[in-house]
Amino acid sequence: MNNTINKIDFGAFLRSFKQNLDGSFSFLLGAGASVSSGVQSASDCIWDWKKDIFLAQNLQFEEFLDIHSDFCKDKIQKWLDEQGVFPNRDSEEEYVFYAEKAYPMEQDRTKYFENLCADKTPYIGYKLLMLLNKYGVVKSVWTTNFDGLIERAAHQADLTPIAVTLDNPERISRNESKSELLYVALHGDYKYSKLKNTAQELDAQEILFTERLKSYFIDKNLVVIGYSGRDKSLMHTLCEAFMTKGCGRLYWCGYGNKITSEVQNFLNRINDSGREAVYVDTDGFDATLVSIMKFCYEDQFDKKIEIGKYLKGLSRVKHIIPFSVENTTFTGCAKTNLYPLIIPQDIFQFEIESLEGSSKWSFIKERIKGKDIIAAPYKKIVYAYGLPNSIYNVFSKELIGEIKRVPISLSNIKDNSTLKNIILKVLICSLSSNAGLRASMSKKIIWNEKESFQSNVFKAIKIDIVFINSEKYALISITPT
């Protein structure tokens, strides 16, 4: 088997898509396609389940756990690992295992996903996908999701979604209609059948769908986007379909350059069979659909006007991608180093006996050294961030009264330099820790010790918090230094 992977850049993908507008495309959407519509990703679901399992045995931490915090994730995972019965972190069996462990009863799983997806509105990618159906390009949309966003987007576009589930796979072969969208729920859908979300349930997909997939994709292109390739049975089914002799091509649109071995083996097997399968590095589902529409229809005036109406007033699609500068022609620059910042709504405060005198700063600094705590004194009060148990252990001997969680507002931080510096230190610690970089609290800088211009001169950025008069938000300032 070929060990290299067939990759094309995003520009080549757009040109290929445009050249084949007269053909037939289908899209397979994973959980990543729905994140911008407000639906939790598969990864977030896993951590949600882990948190629930952890809290069921550790209720004292309920108020202080945030699954988006790396510190809290590490704490939960450490406890899970100590139990000796849970799968390794980031292993492929995590999703199925924790879905069954957290909610072993089928109706509870159904209700979990139903609540997760309630009142969610399709974002721009889904709307443009319906427009591609209207233009006769996209014939069907396949999904591993439970969120119902495809159906909602179809109804908003005056299309009739023809839902195919494990209960009615014969619908895949129905005659196509311009006013209909074939919508295939690869995990079932709580409105039609039980959710197919556990090992036993997922394995049933292969038998029911493989033959239908083989015949359907003989002459159709498939764009896979927002999907991790997590489900072995679905990956096997898709592979069987595209290894069958035919002319349809598969585009695997990933997010970033990192390609899992499962996806690489999947694409290589298809290419070795004589069919075409390529990997495309994209900026995500919404950005990809916007680019497709702009590029493919820039010379068709009526469609360009219609697409423009969809994009009018659209806020910029936000993605977190590594910063890079490609070799290109320099035409100018813009200052874009200010970004909106969400300020915490509360903070811990307490009093300790040793705050009198001029050494109160050094006293606290020494106590929290090497601890996951940020703290500073203001008058007779100490303000801090960290786990309450950790704060208590550090200051228990000098503690007067109890540790309280108190609300703080943007105006409190603007008017109090101590609070601002605490928030800033938390921000610097978080950014540097997540990126694996060094930080200096006193200089407010983050630097990469592995990249230097010369001895002791490193690439670095300076971090600060900026307030704008009369505005109810703060900005983070990132300045190369």
H-run or E-run covering 453: strand 445-454
Q: Which residue type does 255 have?
A: Y
Least confident residue range of 57-66, 155-164, 220-229, 407-416: 57-66
What percent of the chain clears pLDDT 90, i.e. is strictly above it? 38
Distance CA 304, CA 13 (A): 20
For residue 188, what pLDDT is reported? 45
Instruction: Tell me how far CA of residue 265 lies from CA of 2, 170, 230, 235, 251, in angstroms.
Output: 9, 30, 13, 10, 14
Distance CA 105, CA 100 (A): 8
Map residue 417 onto helix, strand or coil: helix
Give the C-alpha separation, 73 to 171, whole Å. Answer: 43
**Residues 342-394: tens digit of each pLDDT:** 888 889 999 888 655 557 778 888 888 888 899 988 888 899 999 888 999 88
Asked which of 123-127, 263-267, 440-444 is least confident by mean pLDDT, the reply is 440-444
Q: What is the pLDDT of residue 301?
A: 94
Give the relative orientation of helices 285-296 and 301-311 as an angle to the nearest 10 degrees: 150
Q: What is the DSSP letter of 291?
A: H
* Half-sphere exposure for 246 (CA within 13 Å, toward CB): 21
Burial class (CB in 10 A: 0-12, 13-18, 19+), 146: buried
Which stretches of 223-319 are DSSP H helices? 232-243, 261-272, 285-296, 301-311
SS3 state at 385:
strand
**Nearest one of 377, 312, 384, 381 to 344, comparing CA atoms:** 384
**Hey, what domains does the chain have and what are their CATH numbers?**
7-36+120-312 (3.40.50.1220), 42-117 (no CATH), 338-480 (no CATH)
Which pair of structure tokens corresponds to residue 181?
């969208």
Coil/strand/helix, residue 392 = helix
Please return the burial class of 203, using the count of CB atoms within 10 Å of its CB with bins 0-12, 13-18 and 19+. middle
Return the SS3 of 166: coil
Amino acid, single-letter form, for residue 137 = V
Lowest mean pLDDT among 138-147, 201-210, 234-243, 360-369: 201-210
Which residues, other chains included, contact 332 with Cβ-Cβ below 8 Å and sequence gap of 6+? none
The closest of 471, 451, 472 to 461, measured between CA atoms, is 451
Torsion sign, CA atoms 410, 476, 312, 18: negative
How confident is residue 321, by pLDDT bands cut at 50, 70 and 90? very low
Confidence class for position 132, pLDDT limits 50, 70, 90: very high
What confidence tens digit (pLDDT) does each residue in 402-421 have? Answer: 899 888 888 888 888 889 99
- Under the banding of pLDDT at 50, 70 and 90, the label for residue 317 is very low
Please indicate whether residue 167 or residue 323 has the higher confidence score (pLDDT). 167
Q: Which structure tokens are listed for 148? A: 């119902």
Hey, how many other C-beta atoms are within 10 angstroms of the C-beta on 263? Answer: 20
Structure tokens at 204: 């049933």
The half-sphere exposure of 101 on its side-chain side, counting CA atoms within 13 A, is 21
Cα 426 to Cα 429: distance, rounded to the nearest angstrom? 5
Query: What string of H, E and C letters represents the secondary structure of 170-231?
Result: HHHHCCCCCCEEEEEECCCCCCCCCCCCCHHHHHHHHHHHHHHHHHHCCCCEEEEECCCCCC
Q: Tell whether the model's pLDDT for residue 318 goes beyond 50.
A: no
| Angle subtended at Cα 40 by Cα 35 and Cα 41, rounded to the nearest 5 degrees | 70
Q: What is the C-alpha separation between 340 and 310, in angstroms, rounded?
A: 25
